[in-house]
Amino acid sequence: MQSNRTNLPAVIIMLLILLLIVVAVALIMRSCGNVKEVEIINQPSGAADNQNPGQVGPNLPGQVSTTPVYDPGVYVPGGNPQNPQNPQNPQNPAQTTPTVVPATPTVVPTPVPAESSGSFMSTNKKLNIRADWQLTPSVGESYSLTLNLYAVSYSLYCREMPSGGTLTIGGRSYSFTTKAVNYDGPGKGENLLATYHMTISKAALGNATVSWYFNGTYSGQHIDSVVAKGKIG
């Protein structure tokens, strides 16, 4: 009994020493853990990622993560280039706008002027002239005009006359030679005095005057010119 009591203080001292050793070891391990945490906090951004590829470390206090994490099935405002469901930046193939081909205007051909003809006559009692005209379409809006001039009378004698006939139309006058006539009858006859050809524009058509410079006596009456008025075209 005396021996056990003598060893009791020694056992207690050893237990205290062992407890101190355990506490010291725990403090040392805790201190080492704090140092590693400080080192991780002080590492530059991306260092932890380089050490552990494929892992994303947690955001530490005081740091703001600017890298958005996208879920392929969740719409993220602002545009997600990897999200085909995001209407702001779709990955669908580009749609081609159809080319609109303008309709070709229908060209309405210019109507070709129809061929036309007519005649007009002087109104004297005994000696008259008649002008027969014919228009044939030419280039553009022009016509080929043929004028046949006749002397309408009973017996008639006259010589050829240069510039004996004149056509006035569209504000201009055109002269032509008239033929000699020797007509004895019987009755009233129509004798061709001249055939005149010219090209005339559509704008010049309209009122016309044809005159024949007779300059002689007919049935006892002196006549300078025989004039017929009408319309051509």
Mind listing the pLDDT tens digit for each residue in 7-32? 788 888 888 898 889 888 888 888 77
Does residue 131 lie within any of the structural domains?
Answer: yes
pTM: 0.53
Average pLDDT on 48-55 reads: 47
CA distances from 227 to 120, 130, 165, 198, 214 (A): 10, 9, 10, 20, 10
The pLDDT of residue 189 = 95
**Would you say residue 199 has pLDDT above 90?**
yes
Say if CB 211 and CB 124 are below 8 A apart: no
Question: Can you give the residue range of the structural domain that contains 174?
Answer: 120-232
Structure tokens given for 161 = 């006359």
Query: Could you read off the pLDDT of 146-186 as tens digits, one per residue?
Result: 999 999 999 999 999 999 999 999 999 999 999 999 999 88
Confirm whether 126 is domain-assigned: yes
In this prediction, residue 113 has a pLDDT band, given cuts at 50, 70 and 90, of low
Per the structure, the count of domains in the chain is 1
The tens digit of pLDDT for each residue in 71-81 reads 555 554 555 54
CATH number of the domain at 124, please.
2.60.40
Tracing tokens 């552990």 back to the chain, one arrives at 52
Residue 172 domain-assigned (yes or no)? yes
Residue 85: what pLDDT? 52
